Amino acid sequence: MAMASSAYAPAGGVGAHARPGRPRFIQHKKEAFWFYRFLSIVYDHVINPGHWTEDMRDDALQPADLYSRKLRVVDVGGGTGFTTLGIVKHVDPENVTLLDQSPHQLEKAKQKDALKGVTIMEGDAEDLPFPTDTFDRYVSAGSIEYWPDPQRGIKEAYRVLRIGGVACLIGPVYPTFWLSRFFADMWMLFPKEEEYIEWFKRAGFKDVKLKRIGPKWYRGVRRHGLIMGCSVTGVKREHGDSPLQLGPKAEDVSKPVNPITFLFRFLMGTICAAYYVLVPIYMWIKDQIVPKGMPI
Ligand SMILES: C[S@@+](CC[C@H](N)C(=O)[O-])C[C@H]1O[C@@H](n2cnc3c(N)ncnc32)[C@H](O)[C@@H]1O
């Protein structure tokens, strides 16, 4: 199994440097690839009911301002197409491109009738296979947490947008409760709200805004962090590439790594991810028990 030796160095980007030393076992491309090799089988049945409901999706996409069926939209890390389904409510499928690094996730998207006409392709969020100044909207939901260098992915969002185009990035938020923080740090990247804003501004976006989202039954509770916790938007202000200059990519996926190390990281990361399957169930039980109108 060929994997990046650099995959186990601390991940790049502002947030990673702000909180160094977190293992983040699944925050690398090869690990994410294998994680979704298996999760894709049950993704639509496990992730959506617990973490990423249709209500949340529509709420999160609202700042993307999908006002015309003619807009050209790219959905990066689009996976099985759950967010793309929200996009094609507003935009003609022929104008939409869904990109993901996991062929297994994309296979599920290809089976969805509502996505017929959407261009579905493999690719890397940190190195998008599109010319500069291509799209009116860039959407990415729940993918940034796997990017080894989130700043690079957001710089790419800026590059592929046309002037005046909007990037809408939906992602997790960092927990404040100690146990949730522990599992979040072991699993993947849970950025802080201010980190998102800083990444967007550094990439060159103007009018950067952050909207909080979450499942209804959490009653606004955010201490455990949320796998889908905010929708961040920014507007591209000038033609061409982002003004931000970055060095070489943090991760070279073509270099081999020790398969034992990989397996250990992968298993540890998957175990920690299981905690976040339990949190929404715990919150749902609390919502059922605690009288309506009271904090939980
Ligand atoms: C939690 S899923 C979200 C899928 C979809 N956006 C949704 O709303 O349901 C995360 C997706 O990001 C993809 N992904 C992770 N790292 C990526 C990368 N570097 N480039 C492209 N896709 C990536 C994974 O393969 C996975 O399909």
Domain count within the chain: 1
Q: What is the pLDDT of residue 253?
A: 63
Q: Is residue 5 part of a domain?
A: no
Domain with 202, as residue range(s), is 17-236+252-289
Q: Is residue 186 part of a domain?
A: yes
Ligand 1 atom 4, closest CA? 79
Angle between helices 103-110 and 29-51 (to 10 degrees): 40
**Contact residues of ligand 1, CB 6 A cut-off:** 29, 32, 36, 52, 77-80, 82-83, 100-102, 105, 124-126, 141-143, 146-147
The label of the residue with tokens 């919502």 reads 287
Query: At 26, which CATH number?
Result: 3.40.50.150
Distance 236 CA to ligand 1 centre (A): 23
| Paired sense of beta strands 96-100 and 73-76, if any | parallel
Q: What is the pLDDT of residue 8?
A: 33
Q: How many C-beta atoms lie closer than 10 Å to residue 181's C-beta?
A: 17
Phi, psi of 102 (to 5 degrees): -105, 110
Q: What is the pLDDT of residue 192?
A: 95
Q: Is residue 141 part of a domain?
A: yes
Distance 223 CA to ligand 1 centre (A): 24
Please list the rounded mean pLDDT of every run of 10 residues in the chain (296 residues). Answer: 33 45 78 84 82 95 98 98 98 98 95 98 96 98 93 97 98 96 91 97 98 96 95 98 88 73 86 92 96 89
Rounded CA separation 108/60 (Å):
22
Q: Is residue 118 part of a domain?
A: yes
Q: Which atom of ligand 1 is nearest to the CA of 141?
A: 6
Q: What is the pLDDT of residue 6?
A: 33
Q: What is the pLDDT of residue 42?
A: 85
Q: Which atom of ligand 1 is nearest to the CA of 79?
A: 27
Q: Is residue 246 part of a domain?
A: no
Ligand 1 atom 9, closest CA? 82
Q: What is the pLDDT of residue 254?
A: 64
Q: What is the pLDDT of residue 19?
A: 54
Residue pLDDT, tens place only, 128-156: 999 999 999 999 999 999 898 999 999 99
The label of the residue with tokens 């070279």 reads 252
Q: Is residue 180 part of a domain?
A: yes
Ligand 1 atom 25, closest CA? 102
**29, 40, 100: residue to mutate for ligand 1 pocket, most atoms within 8 A of CB:** 100
Rounded CA separation 18/181 (Å):
15
Q: Is residue 1 part of a domain?
A: no
Q: Is residue 244 part of a domain?
A: no
**26, 107, 146, 231: residue to mutate for ligand 1 pocket, most atoms within 8 A of CB:** 146
